[in-house]
Each structure stands twice: as C-alpha cells, then as structure tokens.
Amino acid sequence: MGDFGRVLTAMITPFKADGSVNYDVAAELAAHLANNGTDTLVVCGTTGESPTLSWDEEYQLFVEVLQAVAGKAKVIAGCGSNSTKEAIAATQKAAKIGVHGSLQVVPYYNKPPQAGLYQHFQAIAQACPDLPLLLYNVPGRTGQNLSSETVARLAEVDGIVGIKEASGSLDQASEIRRLTPKEFQIYAGDDSLTLPLLAIGAKGVVSVASHLVGNQLQQMIQAFQAGKINIATDIHLQLFPLFKALFLTTNPIPVKKALKLQGWEVGSTRLPLCEADSEIYQKLEAVLKELSLV
C-alpha cells in the first residue's frame, strides 16, 4: 500500500492574471512532469500555496491533475489542517475522487504536544482506512517538530506509510530510520538533503527542483541505489546551486519565476506571498543559465 516511487514533485499551483486558478496550465504542467522523471505529484502542499487555496479549488485541482496524469503518475492530495475534524473531512472527500494518497502536515499555529500530534494523525488514518497517509514534518513552517519517537509510534498505525521529513536534521532522520520498520518510507523534504538522506535509508524526495530537473533527480537516486555513488554525488553537486537558488526567498516564489523563464504561464503567487527583489531573480536566472535550463 502506498508505493509512491522515488521522485515526488511538490507541484506549484498556476494562477491566471486575475488571481484565479489556471486549471488548464495545471493539467499541462502535471502531464509534463509525469513525462520528465516524476513518479508522484503532490498537489496542494506548501509549494502549491495551499494556505491561500479554498477547499473547492483544491478538489478541482485534484480532479484535473488526476485526469492529466492517469496511468503515468500517482497523485497525493495535500489535505492537512490544524483542525483534525477538517483534515478528516478533506481527506475523505479526496479519497472519493480517487487520489492515491494524502499528505498530512503537522498542525500549524496551535502547537499541539506530541500526544496531540499522535492522536491527530491516528484519527485521520482511522477515518480514511483505504488511503495511504504520508506524514509531513516541516517545523520551520508549523512551529512544532514531530519527534522521531512519535513518528515511530505512528509508523505502527495502519495506513500511515511514510514521512516527508523536512526538519533539515540528518540526526532526526537517522533516528526515524532506526526506530521504524524497513517498509516505512522516508522522503527528503529538502532537495539539497536528498543524497545524504539516501545514505541513511531514505527512499527518495518530495522535490521542488523536479519541476526543472526531474530526470536528473531520478538518475541521481537510481545511481545511488545501484551502488554508483560517484555518479550520484556528481549529479548532486551539479544541481546543488539550483537547490539553493530555489530557496533564496520563500518557496514557491523562485520556482514559479523559474518556470515563467522557461515559458510556462504559471502566474504570480497569491498574497501574502509576493514578487521577490530583482537581485534574487538575477541570481536565480544565472543558475538556470549555467545549467542550460533557460
């Protein structure tokens, strides 16, 4: 249950000039990603600007992306909330649409204790028994860290199949790997940590950079898994400037600009995210040119 592959793309949400969701471009981009190294699309996560999307917009995106990549890639729906009741309702509705899994972020703002976090994810998994659940730990955004001990307890809950680990801590990821069964999947939540995390037992990455270099990320992970460590390291080092450039300011501001430079009509970000300084865009463009991506 819940094999999502190696490269999961945290997909951006395209907007029109008037700020409404551009579903046509979303479908086109999803199909493009599925043809260029992406095994699974994560729709309406952080990179998809989920905090400023309505639930109706999110469900429509799930439907459009599912249709666009049918048979080519899987779809994980970002259904997380800081209200357990709301997360359950959203996940049950997404399950009916036919998505392949749900991404459940650590509840933000209300800072639950570890016992509350355990009960939150357990309740969602029990309410949606047929939909694989991927935990999402990103303390830099939520204000609360999901401890490795709590992850280990959650790994025993039916339906919870893995974690997007974006704490930035290799020690924490090592501890999660040590405490969880082998089949529990760990995905890097930061592109720059994919290769280091593979070395301690991660399966792949939930990636932002895969909008631009999905095939190369696929090659890097496959090379590592085949024991060709030098090749994997070379790819990592070649792409490292891009990994950092995509986070020169708040994600997804840079990746949306990068896609626009490639000719994609993805629009701007929704407020409170805004355009970056021209200096940031110049640095980003220089890296894209160096890698022949524009």
DSSP run (H or E) holding 187: strand 185-188
164-201 burial string, b = 16+ CB within 10 Å, else e? bbbbebeebbbbbbeebeeebbbbbbbbbbbbebbeeb
CA pair distance 30, 41, nearest whole angstrom: 7
The one catalytic residue in 23, 59, 164, 203 is: 164
Do 193 and 209 contact (CB within 8 A), yes or no?
A: no
Contact yes or no for 212/241 (Cβ under 8 A): no
Catalytic-residue membership of 108: no
Dist CA 128 CA 95 (whole Å): 8
- Residue 155 gets which letter from DSSP? T
Distances (CA, A) of 115 to 38, 78, 124, 248: 35, 23, 15, 35
Return the C-alpha torsion angle 157, 163, 166, 168, nearest 10: 90
Whether the ω angle into residue 181 lies within 30 degrees of 0, i.e. cis, is no
CA distances from 156 to 41, 152, 161, 181, 188 (A): 25, 7, 9, 9, 21
Residues 209, 225: Cα–Cα separation, whole Å: 20
Query: Partners of 160 in the beta sheet?
Result: 133
Active site residue 109: no
Distance of CA 151 to the CA centre of its chain: 18
Do 133 and 120 contact (CB within 8 A), yes or no? no
Catalytic residue of the set 136, 203, 256, 281: 136
**Which residues form the catalytic set?**
136, 164
